């Protein structure tokens, strides 16, 4: 293997930061993630580029903002901007062929079934789907083919013959009926463990991506009864609707969910029950992660392998009376971010300052000692990690590209307001500005108002700050060729 190091990249789906001890949670059962965090750089303020699966994942794989990667909306077969082009390079194509490259789990960037973008090994968990849902990039002969996970379940005599929102290999009901050992988390953990075992005699370095599905909805799984709903803290803003100074989009979403329009959420206890099931899926995720980390130990890779853990976005989970993703609020846009580099440090280091997901690819390449391509739009933070516990002041930028909803997001008002585009910046001094030409803009001081309760946008004393932060967004737009016209401030 020489001096070349390995990489394991693990991504959960829709996991909040406050699900781990290093982010303040001392009761959720995630021993493997907590152990990983105890050996890692823990980024206190890591943000996605867009709080929805497909654009967020495009950034993690390419080092580009969604519009530059050509992926601006959630995966919707036939819709432009919802599949990654074969011509857009992923990190797997920036790493030399000296490396063995494996991708296991949710792809969600087009054809989930077939190996692509330079990967040598591929384990799929999503199907080609029926004719209605078939991605553009899926070959005609594959349109009814099933994923590796689907086939795994069929071989165990299950009948995973339904689709959840057209894209998973098993129905919501089956998800809770499956024993823990047959869950997707355990399936992917075992596949990753087997890959490490098979690779243990090789002299070649490797990169292994394991993209988990948990704790993504439908808020259902084998650990539905693991947590007592009455014992889970409500939190500072549980079921607290945004006030009239905030965006109509978020207020309408809060109204929609608080009316019990989805998941039978009619009472506060209904919400607490859903939260308990969500945390059960977080624990299930942790078990899959544990299998991967155990494989690194068992087969002698631990000292030469960097481990990165993050999530594609969070979940409102009842905060502000909202559910799911698609907002700039901290509980959705800010995510767990751990980087373990055992040849640099093996103790926990809390890293202050802002980190954007667009910085993941260049940072990984830097860690592996690989030249960083000029076209990437993020930058490596490795130098900061080796010289201190605070990132140099930097802005992070986020977006919502609007357009016609890819799925029904609520009532008519919610679906209408979701079509409006937004841009956001979190400044190095921890202020957040959210701009839109068709809705109420927002300014939050994250230093004094970490739960974003008070919108300061219309207060005269902050006008100069708003103009200056708007100029930062505009400068970023120019550098990334983002053509959205910002509101006049």
> pLDDT tens digits, residue range 1-45?
458 999 999 999 999 999 999 999 999 999 999 999 999 999 999
Q: Report the pLDDT value the prediction gives residue 167, as an integer from 0 to 100.
A: 40
Residue with tokens 């481990």: 307
Q: How buried is residue 114: exposed, middle or buried, by Cβ count under 10 Å (0-12/13-18/19+)?
A: middle
Quick one: pLDDT at residue 144?
Answer: 67
Q: pLDDT tens digits, residue range 309-345?
A: 999 999 999 999 999 999 999 999 999 999 999 999 9
pLDDT at 229: 97
Q: What percent of the chain has pLDDT over 70?
A: 92
Condensed to tens digits (0 to 9), the pLDDT of residues 345-391 reads 999 999 999 999 999 999 999 999 999 999 999 999 999 999 878 99
- Who contacts 201 (Cβ-Cβ below 8 Å, separation ≥6)? none
Q: Taking the domains of the chain in order of start, what are their residue ranges?
A: 6-391
Q: What pLDDT score was predicted for residue 262?
A: 85
Confidence class for position 197, pLDDT limits 50, 70, 90: very high
Tell me what pLDDT residue 475 has. Answer: 97
Is the per-residue pLDDT at 486 higher than 50?
Answer: yes
Task: State the average pLDDT for the chain.
Answer: 92
Highest mean pLDDT range out of 88-92, 133-137, 399-403?
88-92
Does position 200 have pLDDT exceeding 70, yes or no?
yes
Tell me what pLDDT residue 73 has.
Answer: 82
pLDDT at 165: 42
The set of residues, in sequence order, having a beta carbon less than 8 Å from that of 278 and lying 6+ positions away, is: 215, 219, 315, 317
Instruction: Give dist(CA 259, CA 267) in Å, integer.
Output: 9
Mean pLDDT of 116-141: 71
At 176 the pLDDT is 73
Element containing residue 457 per DSSP (H, E)? none
- Residue 10 has a pLDDT of 98
Question: What per-residue confidence (pLDDT) applies to 393?
Answer: 93
Across the range 114-134, mean pLDDT stands at: 77
Cβ-proximal residues to 407 (8 Å cutoff; 6+ apart), any chain: 74, 76, 165
The DSSP letter of residue 434 is: E
Determine the pLDDT at residue 57.
96
pLDDT tens for residues 453-464?
Answer: 999 999 999 999
| H or E element, residue 393 | none
Check residue 298 and give its pLDDT: 98
Q: Give the N- to C-terminal CA distance of the chain in Å, as an integer.
A: 56
The pLDDT of residue 431: 98
Q: Using the predicted structure, report yes or no on whether residue 163 has a pLDDT greater than 60.
A: no
pLDDT of 402 reads: 87
The average pLDDT across 104-127 equals 91
Q: What is the pLDDT confidence band of residue 164, given thresholds at 50, 70 and 90?
A: very low
For residue 202, the surrounding DSSP H or E stretch is none
Three-state DSSP class for 462? helix
Give the integer Cα–Cα distance in Å for 122 and 104: 6
Per mean pLDDT, which range of 77-91, 201-215, 243-257 is the poorest? 77-91
The tens digit of pLDDT for each residue in 275-284 reads: 999 999 999 9
Return the percentage of the chain with pLDDT > 90, whole number.
80
DSSP summary character for residue 5: P
Between 106 and 79, residue with greater pLDDT: 106
Q: Of 161-175, 282-296, 399-413, give the lowest mean pLDDT range.
A: 161-175
Selected residue with higher pLDDT from 166 and 108: 108
In CATH terms, 6-391 corresponds, of 3.40.50.300, 3.40.720.10, 3.40.50.1450, 1.10.260.40, to 3.40.720.10
Provide the angle, in degrees to the nearest 10, between the axes of the packed helices 148-155 and 184-199.
100
Joined tokens for residue 113:
């079934």
Looking at residue 379, its pLDDT comes to: 96
Is residue 224's pLDDT more than 80?
yes
Q: How far is CA 418 from CA 96, 246, 410, in A?
A: 41, 15, 10
Mean pLDDT on 224-237: 96
Question: Does 133 score more than 50 pLDDT?
Answer: no
């Amino acid at each position: 293997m020489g001096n070349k190091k390995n990489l394991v990249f693990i991504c959960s789906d829709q996991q909040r930061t406050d699900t781990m001890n290093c982010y303040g949670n001392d009761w959720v059962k995630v021993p493997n993630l907590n152990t990983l965090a105890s050996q890692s750089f823990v980024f206190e303020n890591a943000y996605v580029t867009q709080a929805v699966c497909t654009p967020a994942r495009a950034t993690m794989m390419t080092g580009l903002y969604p519009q530059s990667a050509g992926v601006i909306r959630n995966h919707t077969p036939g819709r432009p901007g919802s599949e990654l082009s074969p011509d857009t390079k992923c990190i797997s194509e920036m790493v030399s062929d000296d490396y063995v490259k494996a991708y296991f789990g949710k792809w969600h960037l087009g054809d989930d079934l077939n190996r692509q973008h330079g990967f040598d090994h591929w384990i799929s968990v999503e199907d080609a789907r029926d004719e209605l849902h078939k991605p553009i990039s899926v070959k005609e002969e594959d349109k009814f083919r099933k994923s590796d996970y689907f086939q795994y379940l069929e071989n165990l005599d299950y009948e995973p013959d339904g689709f959840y929102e057209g894209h998973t290999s098993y129905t919501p009901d089956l998800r809770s009926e499956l024993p823990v050992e047959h869950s997707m988390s355990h399936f992917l953990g075992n596949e990753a463990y087997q890959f490490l075992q098979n690779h243990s005699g090789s002299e070649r370095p490797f990169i292994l991506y394991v993209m988990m599905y948990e704790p993504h909805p439908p808020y259902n799984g084998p650990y539905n009864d693991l947590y007592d709903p009455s014992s889970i803290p409500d939190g500072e803003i549980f079921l607290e609707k945004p006030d009239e100074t905030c965006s109509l989009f978020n207020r309408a979403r809060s109204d929609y969910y608080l009316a019990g329009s989805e998941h039978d959420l009619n009472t506060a206890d209904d919400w607490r029950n859903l939260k308990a099931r969500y945390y059960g899926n977080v624990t299930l995720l942790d078990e899959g992660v544990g299998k991967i980390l155990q494989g690194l130990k068992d087969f002698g890779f631990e000292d030469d392998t960097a481990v990165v853990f993050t999530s594609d976005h969070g979940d409102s989970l009842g905060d502000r009376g909202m559910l799911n993703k698609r907002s700039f609020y901290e509980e959705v846009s800010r995510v767990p971010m751990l980087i373990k580099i055992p040849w640099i440090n093996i103790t926990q280091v809390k890293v202050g300052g802002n980190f954007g997901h667009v910085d993941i690819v260049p940072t990984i390449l830097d860690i592996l000692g690989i030249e960083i391509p000029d076209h990437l739009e993020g930058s490596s933070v490795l130098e900061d990690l080796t010289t201190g516990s605070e990132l140099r002041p930097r802005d992070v930028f986020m977006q919502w590209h609007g357009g016609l909803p890819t799925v029904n997001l609520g009532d008519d008002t919610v679906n209408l307001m979701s079509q409006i585009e937004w841009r956001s910046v979190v400044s190095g001094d921890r202020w957040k500005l959210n701009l839109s030409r068709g809705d109420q803009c927002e300014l939050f001081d994250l230093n004094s108002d970490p739960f974003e309760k008070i919108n300061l946008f219309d207060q005269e004393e902050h006008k100069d700050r708003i103009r200056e932060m708007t100029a930062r967004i505009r400068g970023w737009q120019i550098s990334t060729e983002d053509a959205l016209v910002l509101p006049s401030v």
